Amino acid sequence: MHYNVRDGATLILSKVGVSQQPEDSQQDLPGERHALLEEENRVWHLVRPTDEVDEGKSKRGSVKEKERTKAITEIYLTRLLSVKGTLQQFVDNFFQSVLAPGHAVPPAVKYFFDFLDEQAEKHNIQDEDTIHIWKTNSLPLRFWVNILKNPHFIFDVHVHEVVDASLSVIAQTFMDACTRTEHKLSRDSPSNKLLYAKEISTYKKMVEDYYKGIRQMVQVSDQDMNTHLAEISRAHTDSLNTLVALHQLYQYTQKYYDEIINALEEDPAAQKMQLAFRLQQIAAALENKVTDL
């Protein structure tokens, strides 16, 4: 603001000793000069302070400062809209590939969503919003949002902080699309919500249609599910460490051991397969747990 720093200018940042007497000259501390020039040909990009700081200044500042802050904000908004337009087709493709009803839905998703519907009926939960939240938390938020915000989980890529910020906006839009709550937008709403204000209703309908389409699919039987899991296991026999997976499952079982045993003893299907007895055998073998054996 006070210095006419042009593109490509050479800048030296040095720490100075500040005397209590304002009129005293400030002296450089030895060895502190050229802190920015340790790497040759290193280009640094000067950015404005955060918006919150700017807002605080503009509230206390002159009319000229307020106009300047507003102008900068409008410039950023124009750039945001421009970038959004560039990426829009890719964002739409993502929503289509994840939520399009014509795409094959994995048997596990159908099986689990039916399980959630059965649990709602079993416990007399008739609020559709609750069932919607269950399904949203189990698949879109647990799986897709995680991948959106962390692409390096499945791709061998380095995510730059600028890309990370953009992915967070898209992930937040996806999360908003999965909620039934209507968000009233105003001029003070976050820019990421304003960016996709027009598209959010379309995305919400895609989520609703996706859940509705899964509910109307042919039911996946226990036998079909077991067959599918067996095929997946054979396909990835050499890719996964089953002992580690089993150990993690047992750690969960260990935490809720008594509750799981009681539930298995009361469940008719578990009684036929003697699952409670088998779990007790595993516990006895792994940690000498006192059982009814």
What's the pLDDT score for residue 25?
46
Map residue 28 onto helix, strand or coil.
strand
Q: What is the pLDDT of residue 42?
A: 64
Phi then psi for residue 193, to 5 deg, are -80, -35
- pLDDT over 70 percentage in the chain: 74
Determine what percent of the chain is predicted with pLDDT higher than 90.
44
State CA 131 to chain mean position distance: 21
Higher pLDDT, 280 or 30: 280
Q: pLDDT tens across 12-41, in order?
A: 766 666 554 444 444 545 444 454 555 566
**What's the pLDDT tens digit per position in 205-225?**
999 999 999 999 999 999 999
Predicted structure pTM score: 0.62
Q: How far is it, in rounded angstroms, from Cα 41 to Cα 61?
A: 38
Q: What is the DSSP string of 55-70?
A: HHHHHHS-HHHHHHHH
> What is the end-to-end Cα distance of the chain in Å, rounded?
79
CA 113/CA 146 separation, integer angstroms: 20
Residue 158's pLDDT is: 87
Query: Could you tell me which residues are beta bridge partners of residue 17?
Result: 27
Measured CA distances, 197 to 79, 153, 169, 171 (Å): 17, 29, 12, 14
Predicted local distance difference test score (pLDDT) of residue 15 = 67
Locus of tokens 């260990």: 254
Q: What is the distance between the alpha carbons of residues 272 and 265, in angstroms, rounded to a whole number? A: 10
Q: What is the mean pLDDT of residues 259-281?
A: 93
